[in-house]
């Protein structure tokens, strides 16, 4: 944490779903990323794990991945 700039981390588990939202506790996200633990390289470019920051849900990350994928995420932003 440095002033209002904060980095938060966590894990995700997409059990029986392929999208979901993570509430980071931040009010604004400047950068984020995620890493899937499951090797999903059998598809046609649509089987990875992606982090989306949508203006409709400030401070949240939407995860788009293969159902059953697990992994970790990080976000940097205002608290």
Q: Is the pTM of this model over 0.85?
A: no
How confident is residue 74, by pLDDT bands cut at 50, 70 and 90? very high
How confident is residue 23, by pLDDT bands cut at 50, 70 and 90? very high
Measure Cα distances from 4 to 11, 27, 28, 33 in Å. Answer: 23, 10, 10, 20
pLDDT at position 43 is 56
Over the chain, what is the mean pLDDT?
85
More confident residue, 1 or 22: 22
Domain residues of the chain, as ranges? 5-78
């Amino acid at each position: 944490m440095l002033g209002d700039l904060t980095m938060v981390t966590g894990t995700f588990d997409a059990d029986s779903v392929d999208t979901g939202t993570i509430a980071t506790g931040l009010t604004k996200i400047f950068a984020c990323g995620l890493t899937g633990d499951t090797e999903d390289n059998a598809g046609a470019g649509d089987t990875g794990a992606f982090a989306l920051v949508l203006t409709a849900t400030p401070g949240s990350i939407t995860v788009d991945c293969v159902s059953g994928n697990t992994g970790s995420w990080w976000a940097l932003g205002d608290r």
